[in-house]
Amino acid sequence: MATATSDSSVTFDYKAFVSYSTDPDYRLVRSTESFLESFHKLPTPSDICLQKLEICVDGSDFTLQSVKRREADGSTGPGPVARAIDEKLAQSEKLLVFCSRNLADSKWVSHEIKWFLENRPEGSILLVVTEGKDPVENPSEVFSPQIMEAGLHTKPWYDFRGASKKRWYDFRGAIRRRRESANWEKVRDPDDARTQLAAHLNGTDSGRLQPVWHREQKRRQRRQFWFSVVIAVFMGMLAAKAAWQWRQAMIAKEEADIARDDAIVAKDAAKDALQKQLDMFTRPLGWAGSIAADTSKQEHEFGDVKGLLTKLDLSVRPIAHTGSIQESINALQAAVVIWKLDCNQNPLTQEEPRRTGISVRNSVYYLGKAYRVAWNLLDKDLNPEAKRLFRKLSIGPAYDRAIVTCEKLAQDAENPEEIAKFERLYWAELVLVEDKGVEKAMMDFRKSLFGDRSGLSGFASKLRTACEDFLDLPTVTDTQ
């Protein structure tokens, strides 16, 4: 905004041009520029009218860096930098000179003061003191010889030492200035000094503006205080909400952990219960399989067979649908009696005991079929998850035992312990779970085991394939 002088025909783009030494006053100049250019926003009585002050500062309103900093050799006229500065000086009504110890070392500050002394009326240069112990008693400490020769230091100046001392410790020379500022004397309040300068540039009395400015500052401080309170409350609410959400997340995690642990416990309990039900089938068939294996031996343990029959008779009671199982046990007991009589009556002739032994083994096989019927009825009553677990506990281990036993027999077909294991599996244990493919593979292996053993290894491999193919099915189907 252009401003007018006492000569109404002359207008200026800037109220003041700021002349300063970058070290140490750069930040203070920037702060002052902002203060003066926003001062017109201060609420004032109706009889006080504040104009918008335009302050010309290098870096804000023009940039010397963009001007070529060289002058022609031997040229006596002003160079590009001087012309750029002169152009801005001509557009400025007043000159604000920030006085510090380094001021005299700046040739451009001297150029700007000289231009104003030659082209502006007296009183157009305003001095702002930014450091010094006592500029009145020792003016040469901060005022350059050029200023003192012109007598400018004898006129009123603005004491900004308080702003330097109070706020500007974060720039070059800060430690030195902080230490020296402790000895400065008669330092004015920086806010009063800045308000006085703004009043001067507005052509009004600072005595009227300072109370208004201080009142506005207090009101602004109150607003800032309450704004800070609101922000603090809001942040506290956010923190409380975050804490509550964190706590809820921890509670949810704890509940999830408890639920997972409960699920594991429940699964283990279900597994144990299913294992107990499975044992009601596998143990009796294991005993029955041992009876079948014993009838295949040349020498028999009749005492063991009797004990196994007793166990079989007792084991059927906890199982549902036991009618056919009990009938099969009775048939097995009768077959064992005949077999024992044949063995006792014909101790040296193996033909008759062999035929009666086959009758015992067939009875064991049909007992296994009876258990298979009860097994399928139980399996149908289970939920899908329990059914999968039930079959996993039964089929996999039985097939694994069959594969291992047959592969050992393929290496040593005369091993009596492995033959006994095979007979138990063949006549009883596998009857409970085997499918058609595994059943045929077992039959082929047994035929080779007790006949032509040349292909025994091949039949063992076929059994492994049949078992693995069945176990690889997505769903283990019912096999009758």
pLDDT exceeds cutoff 70 at 67 = no
More confident residue, 447 or 62: 447
Encoding tokens for residue 314?
């007792």
Type and span of the H or E element at 16: strand 14-19
Q: Which of 69-73, 141-145, 235-239 has the lowest mean pLDDT?
A: 69-73
CA neighbours closer than 13 Å in the CB half-sphere of residue 216 = 14
pLDDT of residue 299: 57
pLDDT of residue 341: 81
Encoding tokens for residue 83?
């012309």
pLDDT of residue 387: 74
Determine the Cα–Cα distance for residues 431 and 154; give it in Å rounded to an integer.
123
Q: Which part of the chain has CATH 3.40.50?
A: 3-204
Q: Do 64 and 84 meet the contact criterion of CB atoms below 8 Å apart?
A: yes
More confident residue, 394 or 231: 231
Using a cut of 0.85, tell me whether the model's pTM lies above it: no
243-260 pLDDT, tens digit per residue, is 999 999 999 999 999 988
Grade residue 81 by pLDDT with cuts at 50, 70 and 90. confident
pLDDT of residue 78: 56
pLDDT of residue 71: 45
Type and span of the H or E element at 415: none
Which residues share a beta bridge with 18? Answer: 96
CATH number of the 3-204 domain:
3.40.50
